[in-house]
Chain A
């Protein structure tokens, strides 16, 4: 059988590591390369980014020809795409690294005040320029998550699309929001199915109320994708419920866990040790850990707690610890290097991960390998993998404290948890992960590429829908029956849905709509919409319908609120 050709778009990849994403992408790529014909496009690659059997392309190493003339022919892609490309910097973008490194450099809470609500207009070098011909260049990325990351994400998409035009592949596989725009462009350009691997979402980083560019991009990307591979069922449920994505196309696949070298070290104090390891940010639930610790310390004199890591909540947790009068039993280490982290893992008697939202939670899996019994929150992927770990809802301080006390006091339970989780970990391999990924590929391709492999995670059987998938590919883009009306200056998501309810779904519909009809739609929706003036909407929509983007943009720049 001919090998499946996979085009993988990545952001981080070893040796360029910002956090755990690089490790995860490498693990996936390594195992995937054994089963498929794999090409990986990265913003940056070095000579060390070598993987057997895979073709790794670093955009920093090659000149790519970006032809502007071809872009108008696929202008549909630009409608939504352009909305993202134009609006840079939005709330919820302060901490965008998917698996941020735990090694923050100071013991002090880092300040995350950069670029709140800063709105700038990015003058896209590639699209909407009057002059045609082509551009020949090389992609530069100084910092993986620098201040210009959104601009870089847009640029990356342009370069990847140009490059992919000359590549042959069956499926596009992208990782997280940085690569989603590129994936969407390549999908439209090639007609090949798009698979999005979701390692961490805006929801995890910034909480359920976070909205803005980042969230919108993720939602749009996942809507456009043919399949989503979240790294846990937990994240899958976030994708479904929080982003409103069709559960049929969600295929949770757990990351593999590489075996780590473990050792044991005796603590230099008589008390037992409970460990928290991670960034001290809201997502990781440090305040809950402190509350759990206060409860345990109140009942048990023979225990210490240590919180290793740094983050914006550090100062607050230190003060709370003093307030709760556990300062002599609850310790902070601040920044720790890998060696010190391993030392802590070697010393700890219980590992506690009370994360509020944790897509996977590799550190819990590492702790399990170190033979530490784990108490982890149910809101984590790790809880699905470590079946023998003790779990509780992140807010259930009572239960977490009880688990810790039980593990410290009950030797049999302790042994059972350690042995059980140790076995749990053994099944969590990248090979298994790739089996799950192949299942998602089969779904989007419409034919089985798994080779009969069983996948252990996605236990809810999903009906293969080959017809849908094939049909999808054959639908020309210009026949999509719904346009993004938000491209019209003055129309937001709410008004768009009002228009849709009023039977206006496309630019053509809007350009033909009478002003009186638009006004009555707005008036019927209540007083908050009355003040919107729709008088230019039809004319704007006409330009959009005709693909006259440059003219529309020029006009919109002069408009204020669509008036």
Chain B
């Protein structure tokens, strides 16, 4: 049986302005509204709008046979609500075809799961509400920020009604088994684990532009053939939607590639599945047992991209130490401000690791350096702390 699941995640953070010491106590708005709008405009023009149009075309041409998955963060949806309702509308158009499944995640694309289960639950539910509001679906499958995954997470998601959860297919837990099957966490009753085929996913996301790669150039024809030939129940190709137009520019040929891929897959007799299709139709192939959280980030596949250094740990610790005061205030504005500071990107910018994809990271950070990012973040947090103190 030849099946493929195309899954795209989408997210934009609310980047902070250079919030200096002198702003503490006087300026309670920490975000660079203009920068965030500019980023949204650019990514909408470079990626969201052309990709939505392209996918819509494929749906029209292939009909019911073509389907795929999207996961939009709550912060992105809010940005579109505020600045680009037209872009949000184009996602709604896609959802109306019934061929797109929306995957659950934390509303603020946060690391809440690692720091506060209460907050994590609030954000998962808030996200579900938001997806329902705009797209008329209740997410059945969940993906955590950064594909952070472990047994405990799976158990909690099952309690909250999820049928499936996504994770990175890591060799050390697969023990020779293929990621092209569904698995179960040891504590799972019914919920199934869907694993990313990182080999084929990275062939496109990481090697498409690599001229030293012996398979270069990668064509949709070749790629569809590989997917068709890869043994197992379903090949899960996961990647950021922003791969198109941001990580891989329009000139790279990425759009042509994705435009032709569905037809090539179709020619090779590969069927398209959503995450929920897999959960409904495919049985589990065994236990996928992950005790401590892992992620899909960097070669370490751990949490070090967000909390590997002292600055990241300090920022996280101080942020979550405000939880009780913020939540007890019952002030929706204060809760919203605090919640937006939880977005994982804020901590990712403070990363001082030298990684293979370091250049990519620099490109995405709005700050001159992790140190400046830390200074601004902690100043903003100091201001929020003062506000919290006043409320107590």
Known: A108-B368, A327-B311, A328-B318. A322 touches B374 (CB 8 A): yes
CA–CA, A285 and B324, complex, Å: 38
Within the complex, the shortest CB–CB distance from A312 to chain B, in Å, comes to 13
Q: Does the CB pair A318–B371 fall under 8 Å?
A: yes
> CB within 8 A of B375: which of A267, A318, A323, A325?
A318
Q: Does the CB pair A323–B318 fall under 8 Å?
A: no
Q: Does the CB pair A327–B371 fall under 8 Å?
A: no
CA–CA, A344 and B233, complex, Å: 65
Interface size on A, residues (CB 8 A): 26
B372 contacts which chain A residues (CB < 8 A)? Answer: 107-108, 334
Q: Which residue of B lies closest to A333 (CB)?
A: B21
Interface size on B, residues (CB 8 A): 28
Q: Which residue of A lies closest to B385 (CB)?
A: A328
A268 contacts which chain B residues (CB < 8 A)? Answer: 22, 24-26
Q: Which residue of B lies closest to A326 (CB)?
A: B314
| Residues 351-392 of B at the A interface (beta carbon under 8 Å) | 368-369, 371-372, 374-375, 378-379, 381-383, 385-386, 389
Q: Which residue of A lies closest to B390 (CB)?
A: A270
> CB within 8 A of B369: which of A108, A267, A325, A328?
A108
Known: A322-B310, A331-B21, A333-B21. A315 touches B381 (CB 8 A): no
A136 contacts which chain B residues (CB < 8 A)? Answer: none
CA–CA, A327 and B315, complex, Å: 7
Which among B21, B22, B374, B375 has the greatest number of chain A C-beta atoms within 10 A?
A: B21
> CB within 8 A of B314: which of A106, A270, A322?
A322
- Encode B1-42 as 1/0 by CB contact (under 8 A) with A: 000000000000000000011101110000000000000000
CA–CA, A107 and B18, complex, Å: 12
CA–CA, A441 and B311, complex, Å: 55
Q: Does the CB pair A107–B371 fall under 8 Å?
A: yes
Q: Does the CB pair A343–B368 fall under 8 Å?
A: no
Within the complex, the shortest CB–CB distance from A103 to chain B, in Å, comes to 15
Tell me if B317 counts as interface (CB < 8 A to partner A): yes
| Residues 315-366 of A at the B interface (beta carbon under 8 Å) | 315, 318-319, 321-323, 325, 327-329, 331-334, 340, 343
CA–CA, A106 and B18, complex, Å: 13
Tell me if B97 counts as interface (CB < 8 A to partner A): no
Tell me if B329 counts as interface (CB < 8 A to partner A): no
Q: Does the CB pair A331–B378 fall under 8 Å?
A: yes
Within the complex, the shortest CB–CB distance from A353 to chain B, in Å, comes to 19
Tell me if B309 counts as interface (CB < 8 A to partner A): yes
B317 contacts which chain A residues (CB < 8 A)? Answer: 325
Q: Does the CB pair B375–A322 fall under 8 Å?
A: no
> CB within 8 A of A319: which of B311, B315, B383?
B311
B375 contacts which chain A residues (CB < 8 A)? Answer: 107, 318, 331-332, 334
Q: Which residue of A lies closest to B383 (CB)?
A: A269
Tell me if A306 counts as interface (CB < 8 A to partner B): yes
A333 contacts which chain B residues (CB < 8 A)? Answer: 20-22
Tell me if B246 counts as interface (CB < 8 A to partner A): no
Tell me if A296 counts as interface (CB < 8 A to partner B): no
Tell me if B116 counts as interface (CB < 8 A to partner A): no
Within the complex, the shortest CB–CB distance from B340 to chain A, in Å, comes to 18
B381 contacts which chain A residues (CB < 8 A)? Answer: 327-328
Q: Does the CB pair A331–B25 fall under 8 Å?
A: no
Q: Which residue of B lies closest to A269 (CB)?
A: B25
Tell me if B249 counts as interface (CB < 8 A to partner A): no
Q: Does the CB pair B309–A327 fall under 8 Å?
A: no
| Residues 249-294 of A at the B interface (beta carbon under 8 Å) | 267-270
Q: Which residue of B lies closest to A271 (CB)?
A: B386
Q: Does the CB pair B310–A328 fall under 8 Å?
A: no
Tell me if A41 counts as interface (CB < 8 A to partner B): no
Tell me if B313 counts as interface (CB < 8 A to partner A): yes
A332 contacts which chain B residues (CB < 8 A)? Answer: 21, 375
Q: Does the CB pair A327–B25 fall under 8 Å?
A: no
Tell me if A38 counts as interface (CB < 8 A to partner B): no
> CB within 8 A of A269: which of B309, B314, B386?
B386
B379 contacts which chain A residues (CB < 8 A)? Answer: 331
Q: Which residue of A lies closest to B312 (CB)?
A: A322
Within the complex, the shortest CB–CB distance from B20 to chain A, in Å, comes to 7
CA–CA, A306 and B20, complex, Å: 11
CA–CA, A257 and B315, complex, Å: 42
Known: A322-B310, A343-B22. A328 touches B378 (CB 8 A): yes
CA–CA, A106 and B369, complex, Å: 11
Tell me if A314 counts as interface (CB < 8 A to partner B): yes
Q: Which residue of B lies closest to A330 (CB)?
A: B378
CA–CA, A314 and B369, complex, Å: 12
Within the complex, the shortest CB–CB distance from B389 to chain A, in Å, comes to 7
Which among A268, A314, A321, A322 has the greatest number of chain B C-beta atoms within 10 A?
A: A322
Q: Does the CB pair A318–B25 fall under 8 Å?
A: no
A319 contacts which chain B residues (CB < 8 A)? Answer: 309-311
Within the complex, the shortest CB–CB distance from A301 to chain B, in Å, comes to 9
Q: Which residue of B lies closest to A107 (CB)?
A: B372
Known: A108-B371, A318-B374, A331-B24. A270 touches B310 (CB 8 A): no
Known: A327-B374, A331-B24, A343-B22. A106 touches B310 (CB 8 A): no
Q: Does the CB pair B313–A329 fall under 8 Å?
A: no
CA–CA, A356 and B310, complex, Å: 26
CA–CA, A307 and B227, complex, Å: 57
Known: A268-B26, A322-B311. A106 touches B368 (CB 8 A): yes
Within the complex, the shortest CB–CB distance from B337 to chain A, in Å, comes to 16
List 10 tightest A-B contacts by C-beta distance, closest first.
A268-B25, A269-B25, A322-B314, A322-B310, A327-B314, A323-B310, A268-B26, A322-B311, A331-B21, A327-B378
Taking A107-B369, A267-B25, A318-B371 as known contacts, 9 extra A-B pairs with beta carbons closer than 8 A to each other, sorted by chain A number, are A106-B368, A268-B25, A269-B383, A314-B371, A315-B371, A318-B311, A319-B310, A325-B314, A343-B22
Chain A interfacial positions (CB closer than 8 Å to B)? 106-108, 267-270, 304, 306, 314-315, 318-319, 321-323, 325, 327-329, 331-334, 340, 343
29 examples of A-B residue contacts, CB within 8 angstroms: A107-B372, A108-B369, A267-B25, A268-B26, A270-B25, A304-B382, A315-B371, A318-B374, A318-B375, A319-B310, A321-B314, A322-B310, A322-B313, A322-B314, A325-B317, A327-B315, A327-B318, A328-B378, A328-B381, A328-B382, A328-B385, A331-B21, A331-B24, A331-B375, A331-B382, A332-B375, A333-B21, A334-B372, A334-B375
